């Protein structure tokens, strides 16, 4: 189950590693997952490396399947993207995140939630209008929501992506480039995009302690982000050593198992209390 990627790099795709019968049934079940209330919002904390304060969380989807149990996104996001169901899924994630934000930020400090957008979402001409409806109906403060986009999603149709991103940014949403350093976007594009944040891909963070080249890439990305006036996040921090290294390099935000694994949304408020205590 390896599919050929743009530059001839083989990418492992778990969703393709199934019999066609199995994938067909998964596909039809996925269509009903929202109606049957089977999607779950998990939150993984994002922490300030300078102060240790909780800044917010990334929203990650899970599928609570009656027979298969908790299905990770890697197993069904590729299907959702192929079939267009991703727009329904993204809509659900954004709406739930907006509701969590409204609860969390009622009276309390302003936390942010980051939501992942796929290629299809970016090509959806109606996305800005949908987002506007959420601002109106859920009293969503767009400044408290960050939209994560990968370089490859942008490069699929750069003109259209740029248009959509400019509209979303003008509405007040924060924008982040996810998995930075693994895609094929040029710095010329980066300069034109209305982004606020770079997320260093976890592969560089994992290997940083052992591989000097990865450490240099991490350092350069932090410097690049800061020179462009962008916030920089490191994800995949699994050890105290990685945390300290990133802190020393001046990275702004940390996300990873060293702090916490993604957790059900209902546990997040208690987790913040324990972390802050
Ligand atoms: P991503 O956006 O790069 O999200 C980060 C992934 O890395 C998450 O996996 C998270 O659990 C994992 N992670 C975070 N810290 C660590 C760490 O310290 N060590 C290790 N080993 N892993 C860590 P998850 O939740 O399985 O999601 C995988 C991917 O599925 C995401 O990668 C994203 O591309 C996609 N995804 C998840 N939720 C959504 C969603 O709601 N919409 C869309 N379009 N994609 C989603
Ligand atoms: Ca992400
Ligand atoms: Ca990422
Ligand atoms: Ca990823």
Q: What is the pLDDT of residues 169-197, one digit of tens each?
A: 999 999 999 999 888 767 777 888 999 99
Tell me the pairing of strands 2-4 and 231-235: unpaired
Q: Could you tell which of 14, 45, 72, 73 is best to mutate to test the pocket of ligand 1, judged by most ligand atoms within 8 Å of the CB?
A: 73
Residues 213, 125: Cα–Cα separation, whole Å:
40
Can you list the pairs that 203-208 forms with residues at least 24 positions away whose Cβ atoms lie under 8 Å?
Answer: 203/236, 205/234, 205/235, 205/236, 205/237, 205/242, 205/246, 205/256, 206/236, 206/238, 208/242, 208/245
Beta-carbon count within 10 A of 232 CB: 25
For ligand 1, which residues put their CB under 6 angstroms from it? Answer: 44, 60-61, 72-74, 77, 90, 93, 116, 118, 178-179, 202, 235-238, 255-257, 262
- For 119-174, the pLDDT digits (tens) are 999 999 999 999 999 999 998 999 999 999 998 898 889 899 999 999 999 999 99
CA distance 74 to 89: 14
Instruction: Report whether pLDDT(6) > 70.
Output: no
Structural Rg of the chain based on CA atoms: 18
The DSSP letter of residue 3 is E
ipTM of the assembly? Answer: 0.97
Output the pTM of the full model: 0.93
Tell me the CA–centroid distance for residue 172 and ligand 3, in Å. Answer: 22
Pocket test for ligand 1, best of 38, 57, 60 (most atoms within 8 A of CB): 60
């Amino acid at each position: 189950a390896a599919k050929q990627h743009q530059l001839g790099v083989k990418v492992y795709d778990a969703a393709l590693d199934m019999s066609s019968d199995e994938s067909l049934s998964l596909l039809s079940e996925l269509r009903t997952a929202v109606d049957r209330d089977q999607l779950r919002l998990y939150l993984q904390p994002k922490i300030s490396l300078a102060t240790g304060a909780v800044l917010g969380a990334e929203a990650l989807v899970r599928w609570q399947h009656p027979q298969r149990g908790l299905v990770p996104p890697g197993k069904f996001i590729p299907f959702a993207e192929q079939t267009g169901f991703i727009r329904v899924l993204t809509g659900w994630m954004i709406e739930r995140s907006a509701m969590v934000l409204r609860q969390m930020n009622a009276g309390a400090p302003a936390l942010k939630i980051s939501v992942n957008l796929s290629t299809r979402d970016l090509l959806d001409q109606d996305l800005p209008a949908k987002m506007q409806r959420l601002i109106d109906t859920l009293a969503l403060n767009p400044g408290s929501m960050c939209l994560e986009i990968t370089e490859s999603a942008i490069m699929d149709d750069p003109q259209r992506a740029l248009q959509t991103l400019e509209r979303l940014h003008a509405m007040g949403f924060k924008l982040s480039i996810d998995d930075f350093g693994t895609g094929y976007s040029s710095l010329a594009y980066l300069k034109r995009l209305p982004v606020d944040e770079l997320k260093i891909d976890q592969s560089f963070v994992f290997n940083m302690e052992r591989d000097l080249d990865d450490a240099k890439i991490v350092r350069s990305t932090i410097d690049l982000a800061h020179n462009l006036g962008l916030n920089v996040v490191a994800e995949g921090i699994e050890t105290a050593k990685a945390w300290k290294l990133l802190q020393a390099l001046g990275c702004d935000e940390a996300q990873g198992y060293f702090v916490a694994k993604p957790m059900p949304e209902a546990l997040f408020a208690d987790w913040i209390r324990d972390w802050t205590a």
